[in-house]
Amino acid sequence: MFYRISVAQFSVIALLSCLSVHAELPLWKQKSNAASGLESRGEHGKAVALYQEALKLISQDDLNTKAKLEASLASNLLAVGQYDRAVDMGIDAAKIAKELKSANKLDPDVLLSLNYLQENCGRYRETKEYKARTHELDNKVIALSLMLRQAVNPRDPFIFHDHLTYARTFISLHRDPEAERELLKLKQWVKPNTRNQTTVLLCLDAMRMKRGQPGKFEAEYLAKTKPESAALRKVAECKFWARDHKGSIACLEKAKLKIRGTASEKLEETVDINRQFASIKMDFTDWKGAEVYLRQSVALLSKDPQNYKQLQTARGLLAHCLKQQNRLAEAEALLRESKRKQPNGKYRYDFIFTDEERTALEKERAGKSSAPR
């Protein structure tokens, strides 16, 4: 039996058929989408398997897709503790992006994937697997983070921080010549007569003085920089970077004797000195010793409502210190305290409102606080 259909019906059927063909995604894309869904649900192991399958299915000439998939795979490999494979995959993705950028063929989506991977580089440092190989793994993962930042945005101001941190990983591995090599690279990269250049030159001197060599720049810096306590704190920071802990402590003890200025300035310097003493303790994983200095800072800052942001930072450092001692309940209580309203009665995000909206909010809050319970 034959059925007759109208021209209009035929057109609809033909259109649906065409849409069905176009809606059929390539198999690699289907697997990639499924992997992304698993990743968003925290099923990273399954996501790894699907991203690997997707990579095998793409054309080897499609470098943009390859870089995106490798970056996504690397993020999930980090999540499941396969750090070495993650680093290798991430490095390859960054290299491909650099080549495509030079050829003016780079898909902007690749940069988004690389940026996401860069953000993940510091996310899994608290796992037991990572801590077991801290210094060696830091060297690799921070190198990858630096490479990704440079690929995404060569003008990113955090490149300096990443590069300085990367150089210090060599000191932790007792490979000082390589640390100095990275500092010399940074010296060429930073602009002259800037804070960053001063930091690099002081770090270079700190390394040389640790070996018993003279530090010409440090002597000049201390002689001309005022206030003296600020100069000593800066030198102490750079000696700490070079893991010259004795030299750093000596500078901090001198800085304590040179504190001058208003009560607010004295408070700021005292808190900074406490932070540096705590950092030295942390370098030896002496979390209990670090806690003493961090608690002092929290106590001092709690007395001054004008130092709310500094207080939040100090509480965050103390909470981290408590977590390292497995005192999780205390750390959580401290973080909850940080989320409450500011001491002067203003709330953290009130700055986004107009004066009229803020007035209305304050009336509403006052009504809620006075309402019977």
Asked if the model's pLDDT at residue 13 lies above 50, the reply is no
- Evaluate whether 148 touches 90 at the Cβ level (below 8 Å): yes
- Alpha-carbon distance of 75 to 351, in angstroms, equals 35
3-state SS class at 339: coil
- Alpha-carbon distance of 162 to 139, in angstroms, equals 11
Asked if the model's pLDDT at residue 116 lies above 70, the reply is yes
Tell me the two tokens of residue 12: 């609809």
Distances (CA, A) of 141 to 44, 145, 174, 227, 359: 19, 6, 18, 38, 48
For 228-256, what is each residue's pLDDT tens digit? 999 999 999 999 999 999 999 999 999 99
Alpha helices by DSSP H, listed for the chain, are 7-23, 27-40, 44-57, 63-79, 83-102, 108-120, 128-132, 134-152, 158-172, 176-189, 195-210, 216-224, 228-241, 245-257, 263-283, 287-302, 308-324, 328-338, 355-370
Asked if the model's pLDDT at residue 349 lies above 70, the reply is no
pLDDT of residue 12: 44
Identify the CATH number of the domain defined by range 226-343.
1.25.40.10
Fold (topology level) of 27-156: 1.25.40
Residue 147 DSSP one-character state:
H
Q: 284 or 350, which is more confident?
A: 284
Where are the domains positioned within the chain?
27-156, 226-343
Band of the pLDDT at 369, cuts 50, 70, 90?
very low
Average pLDDT on 97-109 reads 95
Q: Which residues contact 204 (CB under 8 A, 6 or more apart)?
A: 180, 183, 184, 187, 217
- Alpha-carbon distance of 191 to 200, in angstroms, equals 11
Asked if the model's pLDDT at residue 4 lies above 70, the reply is no
Residue 322 CB neighbour total at 10 angstroms: 22
Intrachain domains 27-156 and 226-343 with the same fold: yes
- Alpha-carbon distance of 150 to 11, in angstroms, equals 53
3-state SS class at 306: helix
For 44-86, what is each residue's pLDDT tens digit? 999 999 999 999 999 989 999 999 999 999 999 999 999 999 9
- Alpha-carbon distance of 17 to 14, in angstroms, equals 5
Q: Which residues contact 100 (CB under 8 A, 6 or more apart)?
A: 63, 64, 67, 106, 107, 110
Residue 47 CB neighbour total at 10 angstroms: 26
- Evaluate whether 274 touches 293 at the Cβ level (below 8 Å): yes
Average pLDDT on 93-104 reads 96
Tell me the two tokens of residue 360: 């209305």
The number of C-alpha atoms within 13 Å of 160 and in the hemisphere containing its C-beta is 14
Distances (CA, A) of 117 to 77, 91, 174, 310, 344: 11, 11, 28, 30, 39
pLDDT of residue 60: 85
pTM recorded for the entire structure: 0.79
Tell me the two tokens of residue 178: 């390589």
Percent of residues, the chain, with pLDDT higher than 70? 85
- Alpha-carbon distance of 79 to 38, in angstroms, equals 13
For 176-219, what is each residue's pLDDT tens digit? 999 999 999 999 999 999 999 999 999 999 999 999 998 899 99
For 131-184, what is each residue's pLDDT tens digit? 888 899 999 999 999 999 999 999 999 999 999 999 999 999 999 999 999 999
- Alpha-carbon distance of 259 to 310, in angstroms, equals 19
Tell me the two tokens of residue 282: 């942390």
Band of the pLDDT at 348, cuts 50, 70, 90?
very low
